Amino acid sequence: MMANKKQRTMGTHHVETGSCFDATNTSGIAIKDRPGGHGALPAKPVDVCAFSFDRVTERRTPSAFLKSGTGTGGKIASPPKDAPPPEFPDENVTPKKQGGRAAGRGGGAEGGVEGADTSAVDAAASSRQIEFSAFVERPNPPNTEFRRFYERGDLPVQIDHGGVNNRIAWKIGIERLEYHHYLPIFFDGLREVEEPYAFLAERGIYDMMHVGKGRRVLPVLPQLIIPIKTALNTRNREVIVKTLKVLQALVRCDNAKNDVGKALVPYYRQVLPIMNLFIRCPIVQSEIGSPSLGALIQETLETLERHGGSHAFIHMKYMVPSYESVMFR
């Protein structure tokens, strides 16, 4: 009779079901899905000519050569097939009048044909968006230490559902917490994008920094670098924005003593590479009505310099060459 019973298998789910007994099954997460890893990126063909004297050749057929009337004409994208060919008037010939006005020298083709063709090509070029692998989001599996501890009931936090906004309710006083144990766990939850983990981790960090100030945050700073680096390496726009705001609050938490900011200078090599990647990227924009990601990165760099002491700028300039100092202008 026991053999006829079907065994129920629990599938992997990454979203909250609303149950107090819900727990994320992380057994199905592959090794290549390491947070911020490059294993999930599409593989590109390797050019053997770059590493040896060998050369890959293939037999070229007549169809492989460029034919008359084809190609891009030196532009990014080919013009539409139904667009009329552009006209190139001879400068030695007086252009024809159109509508009582003559198209002056260098005024282009007749009837605005050249302008129409140019706009069509520009539209086709702008619609062709090149997605570089450097800006592609990396894997962000739901296996953070914050999620594991919260689902196990080891964190003294819960959500206080208020009438207007939700708040975080601490079961014990924040001043009684062991920062060496709890603060790195909350920072590891910065890369969470699901609720309630994302809200609890972010608000918990702000509360602990507000109460602990620099005297309790400064000894734990080396343990916070890896979670910050992992959150930035996910290249998730939402996670990057949240992490940058936490970084600004981190260097300000010691009430202008700048001890935390100066202690963060040796770790710029781990924190700044992602900022250098996105600071000048024109296609990375946040939601409408809010500043772009590049503007937020610029603001974060300026905050780090102001609170990092006299040696902050030289270390920042090494990692972000396009950054200009705000202290020596």
pLDDT along the chain (329 residues), means of 10: 47 49 66 71 72 78 79 67 64 51 45 47 44 76 86 85 80 88 91 87 90 86 91 88 91 83 90 87 50 83 87 88 79
Going by C-alpha positions, the residue among 29, 30, 32, 36 that lies closest to residue 229 is 36
Q: Give the pTM.
A: 0.66
Specify the pLDDT at position 48. 72
Specify the pLDDT at position 174. 85
Specify the pLDDT at position 227. 92
Determine the residue type at 41.
Answer: L
3-state DSSP call for residue 88?
A: coil
Specify the pLDDT at position 53. 78
Give the separation between CA 308 and CA 264, rounded to whole angstroms: 7
Specify the pLDDT at position 137. 80
Give the separation between CA 321 and CA 315, rounded to whole angstroms: 10
Q: How far is CA 31 from CA 8, 14, 27, 96, 185, in A?
A: 26, 17, 11, 70, 21
Give the separation between CA 227 and CA 230, rounded to whole angstroms: 5
- DSSP per-residue codes, 126-178: HH-----GGGSPPP--S--HHHHHHHHT-SSEEEEE-SSSEEEEESS-GGGS-
pLDDT digits (tens, 9 = 90+) for 138-177: 888 888 888 888 888 888 888 888 777 878 888 888 888 8
